[in-house]
Amino acid sequence: MRLFCLSVLLSFCCANLAAQNQIGFFAGGQTSTASYYINSIKQKRDYKYGFQLGMNMKVPFEGNIYFNPAVFYSLKGYKVNYTQFVFPPDTNAVDNDVSLHTFELAPMLQIDLGKNPSHCFLKFGPSLDFQLFGKEKFNRKNGGGQVDRNMKFGFTDYGHFSANFLAQFGYESSSGFMVFAQYSLGLASINNADNGPRIRHRVYGISIGHYLKNKKIVIDTRNKE
C-alpha cells in the first residue's frame, strides 16, 4: 500500500513537470456518518468529526472543463445504535463507535463557472476508497461490558476497499487560492460478512487549498555570436 501511494504521488509530480499542469494542496474539516441497514431495517446513527488532507491536479480538457484527479487521506467514521444484532461488530453489540483512516483516489471532472481568472466551480466524480485501519468501541447487551479494539479486515469481516461518489462546489481565485464544500456518497458497503450490515459512508466537509504557481521555462534558440 505504501509503495502504491508513493507511485501515485510520483505520477502527479511527473505529469506536472511534463505538461505544466496545476498542482494544488488542500485540507479541511468534515463530519461523517453512514447509511446503516441490517436486514433492510435502518439503524439509528450519529455523526463523527474528522478531516481530510491531500493534493489535486488541474489538467485542461476542453473549454472550461478540466480533468481534476485528487489523492487524499480522510479520517471518517460513524456512531450507530442497534435494533437488530448481527456480526460485525458482534451479535451482542447494542451500539458501535467507529473511526476509520482511509486513503482515496478520485478521478474527477471540474467545470469552471465563468471565464474570469477568479470563478466558482463544480467538481464531481467517483473515488476508490482504501480503508487502511480503524478502531471500534461498542457495548454488549445484558451487562456484557464494553469492547474497545482494532477493526478486523478480511473476506468475512470489514472490507479494505469501497467506492464513493464525490461532489464539490467551490471558488478559485486568480492567485491560486481555493475553497470548497464537499459531499461524499458511499456506493459500496464496507462490510464483507455474509448476512451482515450494509454500511455506506456519508461525509460532509469544507476545505481550503492553494495551487502552486508554475514557472514557464523559456529556451533561447537564437544563434549567439
> Mind listing the pLDDT tens digit for each residue in 151-196?
999 999 999 999 999 999 999 999 999 999 999 999 999 999 999 9
At residue 219 the predicted structure's pLDDT band, cuts being 50, 70 and 90, is very low
**Is the separation of the CB atoms in 80 and 135 below 8 Å?**
no
Residue 63 DSSP code: T
pTM, to two decimals: 0.84
- How many domains does one find in the chain? 1
**Is the separation of the CB atoms in 108 and 68 below 8 Å?**
yes
> Mind listing the pLDDT tens digit for each residue in 49-78?
999 999 999 999 999 999 999 999 999 999
Closest CA to 76 of 125, 38, 39, 127: 127
Closest CA to 67 of 107, 105, 104: 107
Residue 75: how many CA atoms within 13 Å on its side-chain side?
Answer: 10
Q: Provide mean pLDDT across the span 144-151.
A: 95
Range of the domain at 37: 2-211
Q: What percent of the chain has pLDDT over 70?
A: 86
CATH number at residue 131: 2.40.160
Would 53 be classed as within a structural domain?
Answer: yes
| Chain mean pLDDT for the chain | 89
Would 13 be classed as within a structural domain?
Answer: yes
Closest CA to 141 of 96, 185, 199, 186: 96
Q: What angle do CA 19, 108, 123 make, to 5 degrees?
A: 110
What lies within 8 Å, CB to CB, of 7 at 6+ separation is: none
At residue 4 the predicted structure's pLDDT band, cuts being 50, 70 and 90, is very low
pLDDT at 7 over 90: no
